[in-house]
Structure 1
Amino acid sequence: MAHTQSLHEEEAHGSAFGYVAGFVLAVLLTAAAFGLVMGGMLPAQSAMAVLAVLAFVQIVVHLVFFLHLNTSSGQRWNVMALCYTAVAAIVLIGGTMWVMHNVSMNMMSR
């Protein structure tokens, strides 16, 4: 066996710089969200929108810097699994909210 390959050869492993950059970004995003809420700088509706954006950016930072998820061909199945999980979560959460809203509306009419 002169030509053997590791099963994980295509997977990218992070460097110390990548982990430190991800950690710093995660801390800054967390501090920004905490400061936004504790400082009361925005009205409630605006604060919720900004917090949602900060949460989404935090998710992307974790996926890229710590889980090493990227668009390379070696990561194709991991990206597909992530997309399926996101769609399933959206359907589950959206369906639950829809059912609970309908139950609430039907109970109020009596």
Structure 2
Amino acid sequence: MAKTTAEHHGFPWKHLIGFVLSIVLTLFALWVALYTDLSVTWILIIIFGFAILQAALQLLMFMHVTENSTSSNLTSRVQIGNILFAAFVAIVIVIGSVWVLTAGHAKHDKHDEPKTENHGGSHDSEEHGSH
């Protein structure tokens, strides 16, 4: 007990290191997205990799996942279940968001294609021709 109270009175080096590493990972992801000539697929793979690293880093540095607890075995199982459920929810949100955004762009790109069905005249000439 004396050790935990002594840790709270000192400088939070663990939190500072976690914060700085999170910023560095974010800046690396930004640099990859803006200043490399990689394909979009590789940029997304690298950004997702940095995001997974950052999530693990934040769990270890800020959420105290690795701290030993004096609680029962049931409590540790519940904590592991909560972590797995949170990871599942995060993965579903990220994959769902990417799916929705890419599906929206695919539909939007389809509308930008030139129409080749109407060879007899354009829609604009029909509107302005009869007044």
- Per the shorter chain, which TM-score range? 0.5 to 0.7
1:1-110 maps to which residues of 2 (within 5 A)? 16-70=12-66, 72=68, 74=71, 76=76, 77-87=78-88
Match of 2:38, SS? coil
Unpaired stretches in structure 2, ≥5 consecutive residues? 104-131
Structure 1 length-normalised TM: 0.61
Q: CA deviation at 1:28?
A: 0.5
* Greater relative contact order (Cα < 8 A, sep 6+): 1
With 15-24 and 30-39 compared, the bigger mean Cα shift is at 15-24
Structure 2 length-normalised TM: 0.52
Q: CA deviation at 1:88?
A: 5.2
Distance (Å, rounded) in 2 between the aligned partners of 1:55 and 1:91: 14
Find the structure with the greater CA-based Rg: 2
Deviations 1:74-105 (A, max 9, x none): 5723222111233356578879x7xxx9xxxx
- Judged with a 3 Å threshold, the aligned counterparts in structure 2 of structure 1 residues 89 and 70 are, in CA distance, closer, same or farther, namely same
Match of 1:108 in 2: none
